[in-house]
Structure 1
Amino acid sequence: MDTLDARIVALFTGDHKMSVLEASRALAVARATVQARLDKLQAAGAITGWGPQLDPEGIGYPVRAYCSLAIHQDAGHDGVAAALAGIPEVLELHTVSGEFDLLACVVARSNADLQRVLDAVLATGTVVRSSSSVVLNTPIASRMLPLVEAAAVPDEL
């Protein structure tokens, strides 16, 4: 990724509806250049999607928690992932090192509803125990643009 790639990503991050032609005009480069760069970033897996970004709070799920999960080892990570994928409130699941096996990000409609979600996780029969941390505030939300800018290699002259 070079600085032009970073500038293209920054434009589309700021305005998801921007056209390639608008981006080419804003960057003073050819439309084909912008399209080729976007295609290259998608092929490399740097750009993974173009859909709307949703906020769980905006659709009625204001409570977020991170749950460390110890699993039944005979179920395997794939079996646990398949079981937890059936719970819509499980937004992310990561295999981790340390005392626990997995880290799940879950959402709920309320603190009381969080208990229902946690009960559903345990009811899969794949989790031995869990420990949850409820998110109180999010001073830095999920972001990629600063990382893109830091990763950009200066353009060659």
Structure 2
Amino acid sequence: MDRLDFRIVELFSNDPGTSVLQAARELGIARPTVQARLTRMREAGILVDILPKLEAEPMGYPVRAITTLQIDQRIGTEQLHEQLLSIPEVIDCATIAGQWDVMLRIVARSNADLQRVIERIARLESVSRTSTSIVLQDLARNRHLPLMDAATADLDDEA
């Protein structure tokens, strides 16, 4: 990973509709170089995919919340993941360590709709308790580019 890799990822992140040829022209490098670097970053697991950034609010989901779950350890999480992914309002899901076992980012059409979603989650067999906080404002989201920028700057300093 180097600064050129960062510039390629930055370009596609800012405009996912960019073609490899457009990227090559904008960066002043050969098209096969861009393609080879994208392939190498995918194979290394650095670049999972370049997707458009979707916003829930324009789709009618202006309410955002963080919900944490405690899981009944006797039941476990074997089916929980699949059940949570069947709820379209669940946009992120992670297991966590500490007092809570699972953290979700969810969206809803209104506060009443948020309550409906939370109640649906709370009724899942392995969920023993939930806690929800409404997101008032996102201060930072999907900060992978600054991380890659820092990582590649460090690599360039070592060279």
How far does the alpha carbon of each residue in 1:5-61 deviate from its partner, in whole angstroms, 9 at most, with x for none?
A: 001111111221222122112222221111100111112222222332211112111
- The amino acid that maps onto 1:79 is Q
**Distance between the aligned counterparts of 2:110 and 2:68, measured in 1?**
20
**RMSD (CA atoms):** 1.8
**Distance between the aligned counterparts of 1:155 and 1:10, measured in 2?**
20
Identity value in percent = 46
Which position in structure 2 is the counterpart of 1:154?
A: 156
Q: Show structure 2 runs of 5+ residues with no match.
A: none
Q: Aligned residue pairs: how many? A: 157
CA shift for structure 1 position 155: 8.8
TM-score, scaled relative to structure 1 = 0.92
1:135 pairs with 2:129: no
Which position in structure 2 is the counterpart of 1:113?
A: 113
TM-score, scaled relative to structure 2 = 0.91
Correspondence 1:2-151 to 2 at 5 A: 2-151=2-151
- The amino acid that maps onto 1:126 is S
The secondary structure found in structure 1 opposite 2:148 is helix
Rate the CA distance shift 1:119–1:92 in 2: closer, same or farther, 3 A.
Answer: same
Whether the 8 Å CA contact 2:13–2:50 is kept in 1: the answer is: no
The secondary structure found in structure 1 opposite 2:100 is coil
Rate the CA distance shift 1:156–1:19 in 2: closer, same or farther, 3 A.
Answer: farther
Q: Show structure 1 runs of 5+ residues with no match.
A: none
CA shift for structure 1 position 156: 9.1
How far does the alpha carbon of each residue in 1:92-146 deviate from its partner, in whole angstroms, 9 at most, with x for none?
A: 1111111111111111101111100000001112210111111001122323211
Whether the 8 Å CA contact 1:71–1:80 is kept in 2: the answer is: no
